[in-house]
Amino acid sequence: MADLIAEIATLESQAYEAIRQAHDMEALARISQEYTGKKGALTAILKKLGTLSPEERSVVGKAANAFKEKLTTWLNSREKELEELRLSQLAETEFLDLSVTPPEFAAVASGLSSGHIHPIVQTQRRLEQIFTSMGFSIADGPQIEDDYHNFGALNFTDDHPARDMQDTFYTKNGYLLRTHTSSVQIRVLESTKPPLRIVAPGRVFRYEEVDASHEHTFYQMEGMVVDRKVSVANLLHLMQTLLSEVFGRTVTTRLRPGYFPFVEPGFELDMQCLVCNGSGCPVCKHSGWVEVLPCGLIHPNVLAAVGLDPREWQGAAFGLGLNRLVMMQHGIEDIRHFMAGKLDFLEQFPVIA
């Protein structure tokens, strides 16, 4: 037994020195294998335990386990040291300045034009800045929705025309591509206690016949305010402030009654067409006006559907058509340009810092 204890002590000394001198991870792996592998030195000692008495086996076994624990600690410590050394050397020898253009690419790079952010994205970011400055939060939701969040909880009746196949894209498993960002309104009300103010920008889909002012895929921004006292006056002031901020001047608008299942009363806020200045063009269908802001006070049924007492809480909601808003900003005559993927169109909209 004494010989085995002495042999384990010798192994400890040898292993410690070998680990201290190891210069890479491969060397550490070899050391671990040499001592604790199937044919390792410590494994060979453990095979001799069968020749000892129970008391002797206990003593030698404890010594062997103590060595294994020390070996693991030394290996882990040296591995950490080697990794830190490797990273410090990389910082000195392999530093890469990504801001410097390699000489071999300088000539090529000089002939390339800079990229452009899509005009809808630019306008969306600007709107987000305006709304967050007024205390709104940005919300998001899935583009593939269920019927409840897209229609049911928003007070659409079962026979409402919007549910028909000619208006909505349905999937084979019963889901649908959301037809408006109003579905986010329901998801927020389910998860967040009022009072609250949110806007929800995003892509929506409808089975539309494509023309100069209609697309099957377009962008909206839903807005919602829920508090104990919300009035039509609050809503109109918010809309006027928004349009003034977007266009940098007072915009001629008109308010007319509109029906939407999820608001009562509901309104259509139109603005004078900025493409033709009200004289009539394909964008405004030759009417001189463009629908930009359907809005209204949130219907009591919608509040009740998410567990809010309509006698205690009130709300206002509005929806912005981002495509049409961008068309008004830049005098774009055809909505189809946005999804055409033409560089000559996109290059007209440099990012304004």
Q: pLDDT digits over 71-91, tens only?
A: 889 889 989 988 888 888 877
The pLDDT value recorded for residue 300 is 94
The pLDDT value recorded for residue 112 is 59
Q: Which amino acid is at 301?
A: N
Q: In sequence order, which residues have a C-beta less than 8 Å from that of residue 259 and are 6 or more positions away?
A: 266
Average pLDDT over residues 154-168: 77
Contact present, 308 and 194 (Cβ < 8 Å): yes
Give the pLDDT band of residue 353 (cuts 50, 70, 90): very low
Contact present, 75 and 31 (Cβ < 8 Å): yes
Average pLDDT over residues 102-109: 60
Contact present, 275 and 327 (Cβ < 8 Å): yes
Instruction: Assess whether pLDDT exceeds 70 at residue 184.
Output: yes
Q: In sequence order, which residues have a C-beta less than 8 Å from that of residue 156 and are 6 or more positions away?
A: 162, 163, 261, 262
Instruction: Please tell me what DSSP assigns to residue 138.
Output: E
| % the chain with pLDDT above 90 | 27
More confident residue, 186 or 86: 186
Instruction: Please tell me what DSSP assigns to residue 315.
Output: E
Pairwise CA distance, residues 318 & 263, whole Å: 9
